[in-house]
Structure formats: structure tokens, C-alpha cells
Amino acid sequence: MSEQLLSVDKLGVDFTRRRTTFTALEEITFSIAEGETVGLVGESGSGKTTIGRSILGLVPPTRGTLTFRGEDITHASRAKRRELSRDMQVVFQDPYTSLNPSLTIEGILAEPLRAQGIDRREAGRRVKELLDRVRLPSDAAGRLPREFSGGQRQRVAIARALALRPRLIVCDEPVSALDLTTQQRVLDLFIEIQRDTGCAYLFVSHDLSVIRHVSHRVIVLNRGKIVESGGVEKVTSDPDDPYTQRLMMSAPLPDPGAQRERREELEKLRVDSERAA
Amino acid sequence: MSTSDKPETTLHRFLANPLALGAAIVLLVIVLCSALAPVLAGADPAFSAIRDAFLAPFSAGHPLGTDSAGRDIWARLLYGGQISLLGALLALVVAALIGIPAGLLAGYYGRWFDSVSVWMANLVQSMPGIVVLLAARAVLGPSIWISMLIFGVILSPGFYRVVRTAVINVRGELYVDAAKVSGLRDSAIIGRHILTVVRGPIIIQASLLLGIALAIQSGLEFLGVGDNSVPSWGNMLNEGFRSIYRAPITLLWPSLAIGLTCAALVIIGNGLRDALEERGLSSARRDRRKNVGTATAAMAALPAVDEAALDEAAPLTRPGVNTADESETIVTAPLADLEFVPEPVWSDSTPLETPEPDPSAVLSVRRLRVGYGSGPHDKTVVHNVSLDVHAGEVLGLVGESGSGKTQTAFAVLGLLPTGGRVTNGSVLFDGEELTTRSRASMRELRGTGIAYIPQEPMSNLDPSFKVGSQLSTPMMRRLGLDKRAARTRALELLDRVGIREPERTYDSYPHEISGGMAQRVLIAGAVSCRPRLLIADEPTTALDVTVQAEVLRLLRELQSEQEMAVILVTHNFGVVADICDRVAVMNKGTIVEQNDVESLFARPRHPYTQTLLGSTLEGGPSRIDLDRAEAEGAHR
């Protein structure tokens, strides 16, 4: 776990629209080692999704550098990006729009394989393997995405990400559209895959409990800046930063007694911050 | 929504539309006749016999008669069809060759090419087409092919705009991003993912443009600026018009041919649009709404419960670590097994469900059944649901998607989506039966007696009205307040729900406020008429967690202030623990367990409740714990 897979150094992203510039990210610095999960947690507008998208080359960085396996990929060309796709993949939040509704599951899964020049027969064999890997029945290959539930579609999306045996998968809120029991099983699948393949995850979520379940290290974002980062135990149970504290205390516990205490603590936090202001 | 397994194809749907089918047949006949002109005509269209001028239809050898030069009209009509249709087709092909690639490139890449091409399209469209064609004729001579070539250029913005818009819509879809990350070349992305989506609009546009090209071409020739050495429908029209007093019927045939062809093309275009609409652009979005969304009829009628069961064929054994006792491992039962334990579990403290409605409750529901559709396709989404809510009490209705929790809430509100109805049972509100009330009297009750807070605050505020008027209008109607009093009351309420600058929010449009603010506004609206019962459907699901905590605090305060009975529909056990007094757990349309909140969390009895509680991650083991447990497991 010591070798750095990805280093993000002072990353900044600006969006310009109708001549007004909005700074989405500022001074983002962190790294991901081989085989580890780094959790990125924040609320809407915190910039957590933008970090993932700029690593994937879907949003151009305005400032800073991205280094992947010792190579500067900040402004990688399209050709270079195509090469990188073997090592870097993505699972998006919404399993309903991340799969093309008019392609079969086989068509979706074979796409990255075929793009890398793997022949049809070999791709077909890999597709079966992948379906098995994410525990979907092999007859799923010929069906369309709309025949599957949210959890199953997310499994298809995971299989697509795994197709090229990447070293890093950016997971952008991959379980937030799923039901409780489905969510847990998909998370456990992520963990199992990581144990088996040794790939690293950048796991983006708004939910601290999800982040706690899958991440080794956690980064907390607020309004485009990192407010706290560290080991999962520390950040998710005894955070130093007031915003992280508020984030943790705001999530209600599924236990009436414990939640009553948490609510009182949150109230105290609120009163304190109002007094400070 | 089709319930059959076999997906209907676009072609099937098109052919099922009688009007479109008729139009397609008419067009086919016209095209075939023109194509087979040498066989069918029986005469040379250019052969002129002055002696035979103006023969009436059905004369010997001339089925439609002859024109002023004694030429056979039937032959001219058939050969003219060739020229006219090919001319229109030429314009279409030129327009498509320019418009479609330009639209694809502009839509997909944007930037400078987009700006330049939009500007060009505007320029071309602002030029008067007829004038350009007249000028071209003056310079280049009267050739139908040249004028249709030029007209194709003039039509190209039609394709360009349609394609560009469609591409811009699909470009932002996540599956296009996923394809980029998968390492696909742009050409492959456009070919596989983009072209499939824009195919439909292109076909529709083509049928419309073909009609326009034909009409303009005929119009030009009718004006006499065409090449009158070739037979074409426009030239025949011109001919016929010149002899309108001697033989008006000669005008009829070309008019009929042009009119029928254009009408057929328009009807085919519409038919195609209807047929494609089922699975066009928005199908992914529609699906999503069906499955994840709130209570739509679509969701309820979908076999969502089957999906949930089907979904997790994977084993559910979760080696979790109990926080209380590190050595104990919880292994929850696979969902499928739950089918064998359908016995609902009822309460320690709440007495066993009484068959008779509880007169002391604000709301007393007994054996409620909600169904969709009728006949062999009907589907019951809520079975035998019984529950009571007393004044000052918060009842949590918990379940996963498709559990029927929202359907139950909507049945109480009398707001079941189209097709849904209460098929059995009773809903007593303050001792009064609601299921038999008329729509109008239910409308009276909503807002004053029963209020509702939705899941998506933004989509429940009308974007074209200011927040203030949306708050004060119902109060003027319901409470009979005048404008000023309603405004004062609305401002008080906004202040009460914790909005810092009530005046400013009052004068804002919904898009100017945040999601959390919008939910506060809706809560203010819901409690404005002091309802006895408040039904909140996932009121905090769309909100950030810090905002959720504030909204829950607000709800708790308002509820105790006004002694309201509250039904809170949610999937989040944390929210239940935070605010509810009693809980009903729903699965597959039935309540499987009902208890007071302390007992339910302390001693969940039904296996389904246990599974759900076992799946909550809040307060569970961290990744470090999980890895440690795994390592220990591997050692053993």
C-alpha cells in the first residue's frame, strides 16, 4: 500500500459561464496508494464530483498537477487518455443514465474491450467472466438495461469499470440511488473486488456512513476546499474540524437513545457556533 | 407501459397507427407508379398531337385526357412524378449531407465550430429562399437539378438544428462520459451512442423537409421559372392554370399528386414521431423516475416488488461486527427466505390491531387495499394496511422502494395517481370516512384538515409564481383572509420556519432559493392552515444532511406546537429514530411490523425489519474493522 498510484497536487478548477468565473475547487492536494480506498465526502456544491471528473479527464483542471504512476496527466491528450482508460475507470451515481438504454448488457460490457482492440470472441468470454464477477446471471448478456433493477444496473456499471482490469476506479456516489439492503450489498461487492484485484478506489459520497464503511482514508470537502483529512477512524468518529463535526452529528443514528444524545450535542454545536458568530 | 415481455418495435407501433399506415401506402403507390412509368404510361409524355388537344378523361388511349398540346396527361403525370420526386430527393440529400454532420460536430464539440455554424445557419435561414432561387435561375439557367441543389443548401439548417439540439441533450448523459472513460474514440462514441439517439428526429425531419422541397419546387415551376422542357408536376400545374377556362380538369391531376404526396409525408412524419416517442430520447430518464422516483402511477404499476426480490440473488450474508460485542457476528437471512415468514408482528405496547377503527385517533386506517388497473392486468400495491395516528403523535412509515409506503400515504390524501384506487378498507379521519368522499370534498379537506409535504421541494413549487403568492393564495381561499392579512401571516410563517429574511424570500421566485429553503417554504405552506394531520413523504431525502437535521428540528417543533398527528414516510431509520413515536415497517405492500420506536429498535421481531436494520451503515463498523475481521477470518 506504500506506492503512490495517483497524486493530486494543488488542483484547482474554475468554471466560466457568461464571463463570470466560479471557482469550484481550490488547492486540492492528496494521493491514493495502490489498493487503498480514499473516501471523498461533502455536501452538494462541495466540489467532490468535480475532483473525480478532473482525474478522469472529463473536466480540465485550471491549476495544479495530476500525477498517475509517476506520469504527469494534468493535460493528457485524447490519445493518452485512451491509453489511460486501461488503468483508470469510473462507476457513476445514477445507474439509470449511465447505461445506454438501447444497447444490450453484452454490448455495454464489450465496448471498452473492443475499444482496446480485443477480438469479438475473447470479448464475449470476458463479458461472461465479468457478469460472474458481479454475480449477475450469464443470461443477462442479451438483455437491455431497462429489464434490470437499480442494484443490478449498478452491478453492470461495476462490471464495465472492471472490464479492463484498472488500477484505479473513481466511484461517484455509486450507491446513493439504491435501496438500503441493495446499497449494502453493492458496497460489500466493491470491498470484495478490491480484496481480490487490489485496485484502488476514489470513493465519492455525501454519506459519511457509506464512506466509513469502504474507505481507509477520508477527505472532507466544503465549498471546494479540503477541511479535514486523515484515517477513517479518526475522521468519522472523532473529527477535529467544526464542519466535519457538524456533518457527523447531523446524520441521525438508527437508535432512539443514541440519537437523542447526538441531537443534543448537535444543538450545543449549533448554539456555540451562533454565539461565535 | 407494456406488460408483455416482447418489446414492441418502433415499426410495429408505426404500423398500428391506421392514419400513418394509410399515408405510407399512398406514398408507396405514388413512388411505385412513378418508378414504373415506362411500363404504366403507355404513351410518350413529350409526344404532342395538336389535333388531340384537350381531350376529356377516359378518351381512347388517354385515361386522363390530354393537355393544350395534345400530350397524354397520365404519361406526363407518371414521368413528372419521377422528375418531381427525384428533384425533391436531391434537395433532401444535399440538406442532410450538410446539416447532419454539421449538427453532430457542433453539438458534440461545441466551441468555435458551434458558434460559427450557428451563425451560418441563421444567415441561411434569414435569406428568402424563393428570391435566392429566382436569382440562381437568372444566372445559371432554368434547371430543376440546380435549383433543387441550391434549395438543399437552404433547407440544411432544418437538419442542423434538430441534430445539434438532440446531440447537446445526449452529450451530457452519463453513458457518454462512461464511453469516454472506456477509451472509445470520438468517432465510435458518435456512431454508437449519439447517432442512435438522433436517428429518430432525423427521419421525422426528413419526411417534413421532403414535403417542403416538393411544394417549393412545384411552386417555382407553377410561377413559370422552371425548366418547362421536362414533364414535372409543377410544369403541369403551370400548363393547367394557363388553360383553366378551357379545361379546368387538367389542373386537378398535378394538384392531386402534389397534395397527396405532401399530405402523406406530413402524416408519416407525425406517425413516426408518435411511434418513436415511446423509446426516444427520454426513455432513460423515464425509467429512472419509474424506479427511484416518488409515487408515480408508473412506479406502482411496475412490478417493483418483484424487482427487489430478483435483484439480490447474491448471498446476503454480511460478516458485520457488532459494535456492542466485538466477537459476535451478525449474519442476516437472505431476503428470499423472508417469503416464508409473512406473519406480521405487532407491538408490545400498542395493543394488537383492533378490528374496529379507533375513535380516539385522528386517523384510523383499516384493511386498506390499493390497486391499479382492472381485469387481468390489475395489481394490488397495498394489502390490508391498518394503522392509527393520534394527535401529537408521529408515525413513521418505513420501507424500501416499491414497499407501498407512499401509495398508502397517497390513498389517505385521496391523491392516488391515475389508475389507482382504494379497492377495499376504510380510512377514518376524525371519525369521518374518506374513501367515499367526493373529489371536491377531499380537495376541501386537503390543506385545512390534512396537509402534505413532498419529497422534491423544487418540483412542488410553481416556477412561474413568486414564493409569497404561492403561500398566501391558499390562505386567502381557505382561511378567508384578505390580501394584507395573508401576507402578514405568510411572513410570520416564513419567519417561524427559520428563514432569515422573510420579506426577501416572499418576493423571490423558486429558482432563486435553495432546496433547503424551498422545503421550509413548503412546510410553512403545509402548516399554514393548522392541519390536524400532516403527511410528509420523504421530506428530507433530497436535502443535504446538515440541512436535513435542521428541517427535522423544525418539524419536531411545529408538530409539538400544533399538536399535529404526523405520518412520516421514509426509508431512513436514522430519521425514524430521530423524530418518530411509533413505526410501521412496510414490505411488498403490507405492514410487517408495527411498534413504538424504542421497542422496535431494541427488539426488531420480523426478519425483514431485522434485515433492514442490519443494513444500516450508520454507527456500523469502519473499513478498518472490516479488514481486521476479514484478516482474522482468513487466519482461522
Mean of pLDDT values over A175-183: 85
Predicted confidence (pLDDT) per residue in B105-125, tens digit: 998 888 888 999 999 999 998
pLDDT at position B285 over 80: no
Task: Find the closest chain B residue to A39 by CA distance.
Answer: B623
Structure confidence at residue A274 as a pLDDT band (50, 70, 90): confident
Which class would CATH give B28-281?
mainly alpha
Q: Nearest by CB to A215, from B401, B612, B623: name it.
A: B623
Predicted confidence (pLDDT) per residue in A47-97, tens digit: 999 999 999 999 999 999 999 998 999 998 888 888 898 899 999 988 888
pLDDT at position B393 over 90: yes
Predicted confidence (pLDDT) per residue in B58-72, tens digit: 887 788 888 888 888
Shortest Cα distance, chain A CAs vs residue B173, angstroms: 6
CA–CA gap between residue B388 and residue B368 (Å, rounded): 12
Mean of pLDDT values over B2-14: 61
Q: Do B285 and A96 touch (CB under 8 A)?
A: yes
CA–CA gap between residue B213 and residue B111 (Å, rounded): 32
Task: Find the closest chain B residue to A42 by CA distance.
Answer: B544
pLDDT at position B236 over 70: yes
Q: Do A149 and B307 touch (CB under 8 A)?
A: yes
Percent of chain B residues topping a pLDDT of 70: 86
Task: Find the closest chain B residue to A154 by CA distance.
Answer: B311
Mean of pLDDT values over A104-110: 91
CB proximity under 8 Å: A 95-114 to B = 96-103, 111-112
Average pLDDT, whole number, for chain B? 81
pLDDT at position B531 over 80: yes
Looking at per-residue confidence, does B288 or B475 come out higher? B475
Structure confidence at residue B52 as a pLDDT band (50, 70, 90): confident
Looking at per-residue confidence, does B41 or B214 come out higher? B214
Average pLDDT, whole number, for chain A? 90
* Among the ranges given (A74-88, B14-28, B232-246, B308-322), the one the predictor scored with the smallest mean pLDDT: B308-322
Q: Is A275 on the interface with B (CB under 8 A)?
A: no
CB proximity under 8 Å: B 500-529 to A = 515
pLDDT of residue B144: 86
Structure confidence at residue B358 as a pLDDT band (50, 70, 90): confident
Predicted confidence (pLDDT) per residue in B502-511, tens digit: 999 999 998 8
- Beta-carbon neighbour count of residue A85 at 10 Å? 24
Q: Do A213 and B173 touch (CB under 8 A)?
A: no
pLDDT at position A210 over 90: yes
- ipTM field: 0.87
Shortest Cα distance, chain A CAs vs residue B124, angstroms: 26
Inter-CA distances, A58 with A15, A70, B18, B483, Å = 13, 21, 47, 51
Range list of H helices, B497-544 = 502-506, 515-527
CB proximity under 8 Å: B 97-136 to A = none
Q: Taking Cα atoms as reference points, which of B20, B27, B147 lies closest to residue B88? A: B147
| Domain edges within chain B | 28-281, 342-351+371-605
Q: Do B622 and A213 touch (CB under 8 A)?
A: yes
Mean of pLDDT values over A203-212: 93
pLDDT at position B281 over 50: no
- Contact indicator for B390, B360 with CB cutoff of 8 Å: yes
Structure confidence at residue B90 as a pLDDT band (50, 70, 90): very high
Which of A100-104, A157-161, B183-187 has the highest average model confidence (pLDDT)? A157-161
Shortest Cα distance, chain B CAs vs residue A157, angstroms: 9
Q: Do A249 and B279 touch (CB under 8 A)?
A: no
Q: Nearest by CB to A206, from B544, B597, B627: name it.
A: B544
Q: Taking Cα atoms as reference points, which of B594, B611, B301 lies closest to residue A182? A: B611
CA–CA gap between residue B328 and residue B340 (Å, rounded): 26
pLDDT at position B318 over 70: no
A-B C-beta contacts closer than 8 Å: 227
Range list of H helices, chain A = 48-55, 78-84, 105-115, 120-133, 150-162, 180-197, 208-214, 232-237, 242-250, 256-276
Mean of pLDDT values over B115-137: 89
Mean of pLDDT values over A244-262: 90
Q: Do A254 and B601 touch (CB under 8 A)?
A: yes
- Contact indicator for B173, B284 with CB cutoff of 8 Å: yes
Q: Nearest by CB to B612, from A181, A210, A236: name it.
A: A181
The amino acid present at B113, given as its one-letter code, is: F
Q: Do B174 and A215 touch (CB under 8 A)?
A: no
CA–CA gap between residue B409 and residue B295 (Å, rounded): 9
Q: Do B184 and A160 touch (CB under 8 A)?
A: no
Residues of B in contact with A57 (CB under 8 A): 180-181
| Sequential DSSP letters for A184-198 | HHHHHHHHHHHHHH-
Q: A208 is written with which cell numbers?
A: 459519511
The H or E element containing residue A29 is strand A20-33
Q: Do A216 and B548 touch (CB under 8 A)?
A: no
Predicted confidence (pLDDT) per residue in B28-45, tens digit: 999 999 999 888 887 888
Q: Nearest by CB to A247, from B186, B546, B617: name it.
A: B546
Structure confidence at residue B579 as a pLDDT band (50, 70, 90): very high
Mention every residue, 6+ apart, whose C-beta is less than 8 A from residue B149: B90, B91, B94
Task: Find the closest chain B residue to A210 by CA distance.
Answer: B617
pLDDT at position B555 over 70: yes
Structure confidence at residue B306 as a pLDDT band (50, 70, 90): very low
User: What is the DSSP-derived secondary structure letter of residue A102?
Assistant: T
Structure confidence at residue B282 as a pLDDT band (50, 70, 90): very low
Shortest Cα distance, chain A CAs vs residue B283, angstroms: 7
Mean of pLDDT values over B186-192: 86
pLDDT of residue B130: 84
Q: Do B188 and A97 touch (CB under 8 A)?
A: no
- The model's pTM is 0.77
Q: Do A88 and B287 touch (CB under 8 A)?
A: no
Percent of chain B residues topping a pLDDT of 90: 28
Q: Looking at domain B342-351+371-605, which of 3.40.1010.10, 3.40.1030.10, 3.40.50.300, 3.20.20.150 is its CATH number?
A: 3.40.50.300
